[in-house]
Structure 1
Amino acid sequence: MTVQPPYKYDVVGSFLRPDYLKKAREEFAKGTIDASQLKNVEDKAILDLVAKEKEAGLQAVTDGEFRRRYWHLDFLADLDGVEEIKADHWSVHFKGHQPKAATLKIVDKIDFGNPPFLEHFIYLKSIAQDTPCKMTIPSPSMLHLICCVRSEEYAPIERYQDMKVLYHDIAIAYQKAIRAFYDAGCRYLQLDDTSWGEFCDADKRKAYKERGLDLEEIAKAYVDMINLALEAKPEDMTITMHICRGNFRSTWFSSGGYEPVAKTLFGHCKVDGFFLEYDSERSGDFSPLRYIKNQKVVLGLITSKFPELENKEEVKKRIQEAEKYVPKEQLCLSPQCGFSSTEEGNVMTEEEQWTKVKLVKEIAEEVWG
């Protein structure tokens, strides 16, 4: 098995919250416990989770995103110059349940500052001991996507009348984040990103075009911005990207294969690997992978949305199909997304979740030896 991440069997990052953690967060929201008491519960839940991840044989552990409400908003709202605001509804619509609506607004110069996520990683590393730790954060493009693409009311502050300045400031803030996580001991960082899933969706592409947005230019700007952020990456640090089409209570909000973004993203983005959703027909075929260069491709062939187990032989056949475009040694396997992108979690039990992780490991060991 590979020694450097991403690993032949890997996970995206989030895990189902245990009931006692959900209860503590509800009590905190009601004001019946304080932040310190909530942190103690989170610490225990993460300690328990890391033990289960090690027992499952994972080669790197995460904190399950147990301290977050959302996979993205918590981190982005902690950046200097960004505020979380209430929203009447989400600018994207899931095919079923809808999460509690919230959005972001750019109110000042974007900067990294000193968000609590560094402390979150430091705690994870302290309990993981010698096991590598993976940190997940939203991709730089998510801030622009939420504030400037999805929002139809975006009004730039004076500093960001020129969009290039905004792209630059976001990239520099992420450079600082990369260095800060590295200094804290992080060697495996993942950028989670739903923008590319949206840019693959024919209906969304049409709607954005009708609003006068040029997605081709925005996609190129996103890759340039991410690459500028990656200039801060030391040689012994791995940074991957997970591309998602939406994940809330086992629902989704985008469809379509990777072809519309493949040449720009796979051909030019300098991340070390891509975690790609391939668990359903919504993700299209493997032909867009022809643009992959030397990056690893983690095939998300095992769904994290439903408990039913995939057929091992069918998964192996799909890995062989992907080999037509990417050498086998560059391929890896994982669930297609996390199990709990928001604190509510997908519709399955913790036992079913770990059975999915076990399946990923078993197939990977049979395929790669």
Structure 2
Amino acid sequence: MSRVNPPFRYDVVGSFLRPADLKEARAQHEEGKITDQALRDKEDGAIRELIAKEKAAGLKAVTDGEFRRAYWHLDFLAGLDGITEVRADAWSVKFKGANPKARTIVISDKIDFSDHPFLEHFKFTKEAAGDTLVKQTIPSPSMLHLIPCVREENYEPIDRYKDEDVLFDDIANAYIKAVRKFYDLGCRYLQLDDTSWGEFCDLSKRKAYEERGLDLDHIERKYVEVINKIIASKPDDLTITMHICRGNFRSTWFSSGGYEPVAEILFGNCNVDGFFLEYDSDRAGDFSPLRYIKDQTVVLGLVTSKFPDLEDPDAVRARIKEAEKYVPLDQLCLSPQCGFSSTEEGNVLTEEQQWAKIALIREIAGSVWKDC
């Protein structure tokens, strides 16, 4: 019998390479050469085509590929009440290579969730997917604190948030509303994408933050507390997972380090239904931090989305076997380590190579688990 509830034995993180004609339409729109409606029409067609390809690839949950976004996180965060997207002189985090267009967010008023454009985006995707489950991806609530309050060295809270507990309460309440509205539209699979934990795994970044007087263990516990409030409010038939990333832009990265510095606080206390964990390179460390996992599903990101070369199936199966020392096989699944296009630019591989990665993951999962 096939696994009924997500995450699935072979799964994806969410973003896919944008087709060339969609990239061109977005560029034309930015230059004022086509209308908002013309861009929407192009996005709609590209998403319908993507969903057909996802179904043909055998995926049990489909996404919109994040085709309507420029970034995996800022588009959603900037749509929240009280958040303003602004230009930045430079990214506060540096990738090991090229960097995206520098944008950031600031907290300008009370944070809340009301008439967010992602709700209409989800409605379209669900209708286009028909009877197939839709996975909705949004940035984790942790990013609402990490970006403007931790990365920003000169952060000055507005009056309402001089008591930081009020800020964390408002973030939690905004996401509780978001979860409920997505659920009411039919969402049953929601993923929180989060790079904060990847940064906190990086010993050099931890040192730099601590030298500024930041208590990272306290911040991590507050992040888990916020997420657990959201989880506690969700309906029983909604699956919420978390994807942890160390950076993904044009096949580059910005954080490095195993999960040990955050494992006890995160894996031992965060009540998400599953973790999508980056494990495609030595930068992610070994599996020993998984000893803190309780009953959460662990989706092993053993296949890289950054490069086109296909992994050796036997080597991937051997690594799954190694992970079994810490987490039972029944709690494990397989996916790419990240999305294929965390920003609209996309990683350095072709669409054909992208789908070959998905096929490889499905093939390996079918040889490891009987309930695929």
Q: What's the TM-score bracket when you normalise by the shorter of the two chains?
A: over 0.9
Give the drift of 1:160. 0.2
1:12–1:338 contact (8 Å) kept in structure 2: yes
Runs of 4+ in 1 over 4 A off after TM superposition: none
CA distance in 1, matches of 2:36, 2:232: 36
Separation (CA, whole Å) in 1 of partners of 2:36 and 2:229: 36
Report the counterpart of residue 199 of structure 1 in structure 2. Answer: 200
The share of aligned pairs that are identical, in percent, is 69
Q: Could you tell me which residue of structure 2 aligns to residue 189 of structure 1?
A: 190
Q: Which residue of 2 aligns with 1:348?
A: 349
Cα drift, residue 92 of structure 1: 0.2
- 1:1-369 alignment runs, 5 A limit: 1-369=2-370
CA contact (8 A) 1:175 1:231 kept: no
Q: Aligned with 2:14: secondary structure?
A: coil
Name the CA distance, whole Å, in 2 between partners of 1:317 and 1:3. 26
| 2-structure distance, mates of 1:127, 1:206 | 47
* CA displacement, residues 281-333 of structure 1 (integer Å, 9 cap, x when unaligned): 00000000000000000000000000000000000000000000000000000
1:193-237 residue CA offsets vs partner (Å, 9 max, x unmatched):
000000000110010011111101000010001111222210000
Matching residue's letter, 1:304: S
Q: CA deviation at 1:161?
A: 0.4
Aligned-partner SS, 2:222: helix
SS in 1 for 2:92: coil
- 8 Å contact from structure 1 (residues 250, 347) kept in 2: yes
CA drift of 1:113 comes to 1.2
Amino acid at match of 2:88: A
Distance 1:147 1:227 in 2: 22
In 2, are the aligned partners of 1:11 and 1:334 still within 8 Å (CA)? Answer: yes
Deviations 1:334-359 (A, max 9, x none): 00000000000000000000000000
The alignment covers a number of residue pairs equal to 369
Name the aligned partner's letter for residue 178 of structure 2.
Answer: A
CA contact (8 A) 1:301 1:336 kept: yes
Q: What is the alpha-carbon distance in structure 2 between the residues aligned to residue 289 and residue 299 of structure 1? A: 11
Secondary structure of the structure 1 residue equivalent to 2:302: strand
Give the superposition deviation at 1:115: 0.7
Runs (5+) with no aligned partner, structure 2: none
Distance in 2 between residues matched to 1:209 and 1:132, nearest whole Å: 42
Gap runs ≥5 in structure 1: none
Give, in whole Å, the separation in 1 of the partners of 2:203 and 2:222.
20
Q: Distance in 1 between matches of 2:64 and 2:10?
A: 18
Q: Aligned partners of 1:326 and 1:37: how far apart in 2? A: 48
What SS does structure 2 have at the residue aligned with 1:235? Answer: coil
Counterpart-to-counterpart distance in 1, 2:188 and 2:315: 33
TM-score (norm 1): 1.00
Q: Deviations over 1:239-297 (max 9, x none)?
A: 00000000000000000000000000000001000000000000000000000000000
Q: Distance in 1 between matches of 2:233 and 2:42?
A: 34
TM (norm. structure 2) is: 0.99
2:201 maps to a residue whose letter is C
- In structure 1, what residue type is equivalent to 2:105? L
Alpha-carbon distance between aligned partners in 2 of 1:294 and 1:161, rounded to the nearest angstrom: 37
C-alpha separation in 2, matches of 1:188 and 1:327: 23
Distance 2:122 2:290 in 1: 32
The alignment partner of 1:315 has SS state of helix
